[in-house]
Structure 1
């Protein structure tokens, strides 16, 4: 897709992550009032895309941002900085709209007042009923953003992200993976604030036999369940991400490497880092005596010393095909054998 500026590229993410209109028929506001609020939020994001200069004073020539997890020295980091500045402006507008609806203290700058006028809001003391209702039902913890409000998630019992990530990954192989998980009791969850990620609206499938806790989102850090996690990274050239959720890291599974089918062994070998002595795993050891956490395995006559800790493994991709679906199903099935051993 061709964009007129970096800021327009960043705005595309708001449209990509805006779900279909699914109202709450039991809400204290009418369906038509919910649709009015939905249309207004969609108009906000279309304004951000069509007229990004409303949100920031300077637009920058479009370019491809760096890949996910690029280094701080990557020359394209400046691209990310411009995109983040623009998104910060859009997010600030959404936050002020939320505060207005929740009858909390808000402060509008000149740009935000112009944007609200374009949204046909003139009297800040008489906001539409669905706007107020959506703001009042959003209970934010410290540092959280009003994601349900921003994405018009009217119903608490509906998975709004399913249709979004269906657009990105929805092919026959993906559907087969989802069916396999559904048949085995995995549950889907809207995640409104993914840890360790710029994503604010992601989808997780989790096997509840591992944990009764609501998933925290993502697939990298402190995961307590098997499953998959899908998210949108707005400042990366690889925006749509699907990853396998690996509870507790790879240690237990690498210790049972010999029990894996040969095809799964090859898949794991291809995704796990060989130990290079980086000493990440013993960085807190002040004695210098703790052994490295590497795990030795044999595969096709070769010996490997593998790292069991993230980021020593990467089980995430940007698309899905039959081979990958088979590998993910195999890995999930193997890990689920150890659900009774969870701590």
Structure 2
């Protein structure tokens, strides 16, 4: 998709991530009142997308980072400009949320102009569902932002199925659900709505989201980062790093072995694993793996960086299923060892 400016690229994320209308059937407000609020929020994001100058005074040439890790691009001002538009929108949404709570956040002139364009002239007379979404038990700005009316429904499943491809995504989903995995909407303070599937065999603690850090469960994580050229990403969740699984490389079937050799980082001597060693004697953490008459030195740390994709197909889904099934055979043993340490 082409954007007229950087701000439009970032604002498009709110439209892209806005889920289908799924109302709460037994709520204090009617379904039609929920639909009115849903339509208002959608109009808000459409309004800002078509005229970003409503929310920020300066527009910038469109650009995007080549990867979500923002390294090696040499444009520090890009991140600054991304944050400006992102913060402006989040402050607007925060103001709207607080107005609904009955507080007096003192909207600025830009915010008042936007609200007026939505037909909100009197801040004491708000749509019924607006007030409800701001005050119901457990109300959050994220649920307000994306109209997550039902607390027992995972809205991000539909969003990421649409972004990644309905047929292939649902094939992976069906396998996970049939093996006990559970989906979660993961929301954050910076307005992101991400998806996680986690296998409770690894523990009852809900997932944190993401697939890079402090992963304690098998599953997948999906996210959308508007500042990246390919904004949608799906990652494999590998609990506690690769060490436990590389130690059992010989027990993998050939498909899993091929997948692990293809995706796991080969040691490049970065020395991250020995950075705290002042003696210079600690060996590197890489693990030697012999496969098809070749020795590989594979890094066990932070595998999520390599096990991530911006699109999925049937071959990848096959590999993900095989890898998840293999890792899950170690759930009981690894969880028990973690409890004992």
TM > 0.5 fold call = yes
Distance between the aligned counterparts of 2:51 and 2:329, measured in 1? 53
Q: Is the 8 A contact 1:13 1:234 kept in 2?
A: yes
In structure 2, the residue matched to 1:294 is 286
Going from structure 1 to structure 2, the CA distance change for 1:65 and 1:275 (only over 3 Å counts) comes to closer
User: C-alpha displacement at 1:124, in angstroms?
Assistant: 1.4
**More helix per residue: 1 or 2?**
2
The answer to whether residue 214 in structure 2 is matched with residue 253 in structure 1 is no
Q: Secondary structure at the match of 1:331?
A: helix
Q: Aligned partners of 2:88, 2:144: CA distance in 1, in Å?
A: 17
Give 1:127 deviation, angstroms.
Answer: 2.1
- The structural deviation recorded for 1:62 is 2.2
Specify the SS of the correspondent of 1:242: strand
Contact 2:241 2:303 in 1 (8 A): no
Aligned-pair CA distance for 1:265: 1.2
Runs of 4+ in 1 over 6 A off after TM superposition: none
| Contact map agreement 1:160 1:190 (CA 8 A) in 2 | yes
Give the unaligned 5+ runs of structure 1.
Answer: none
Q: Return the offset for 1:76.
A: 4.1
State the distance in 2 between where 1:18 and 1:126 align. Answer: 25
Instruction: Give yes or no for contact 2:212–2:305 (8 Å, CA) kept in 1.
Output: no
Secondary structure of 2:266's counterpart equals coil
Deviations, residues 118-162 of structure 1 (Å, cap 9, x unaligned): 11111112322211110113747xxxx711110000110111111
Question: After the TM superposition, which of the residue ranges 307-316 and 27-36 deviates more from structure 2?
Answer: 307-316
Tell me: CA distance 1:14–1:288, structure 2 relative to 1, closer, same or farther (3 Å).
Answer: same
SS in 2 for 1:209: helix
Superimposed CA distance per residue, residues 82-137 of structure 1 (whole angstroms, 9 cap, x where no aligned partner): 23311211111001111111223413111111111111111112322211110113
- SS of 2:202's equivalent in the other structure is coil
Q: Matched residues in 2 for 1:137 and 1:335: separation?
A: 40
How far off its partner does 1:79 sit?
3.1
Q: In structure 2, what is the Cα distance between the partners aligned to 1:153 and 1:329? A: 29
Counterpart pick for 1:149 among 136, 144, 147: 144
Q: Secondary structure at the match of 2:200?
A: coil
Compared CA separation, residues 333 and 312, structure 1 to 2 (3 A): closer
8 A contact 1:191–1:203 mirrored in 2? yes
Distance 2:237 2:191 in 1: 16
Aligned position for 1:24: 24
Distance of 1:105 and 1:231 partners within structure 2: 34
SS of equivalent residue, structure 2 residue 326? helix
Cα root mean square deviation, aligned? 1.9
Q: CA, structure 1 residues 56+168, in 2 after alignment: closer, same or farther (shift >3 Å)?
A: same
**Alignment match, 1:177:** 172
Q: How many residues align?
A: 335
Unaligned runs of 5+ in 2: none
Residue pair 1:226, 1:245 contacting (<8 A) in 2 also: yes
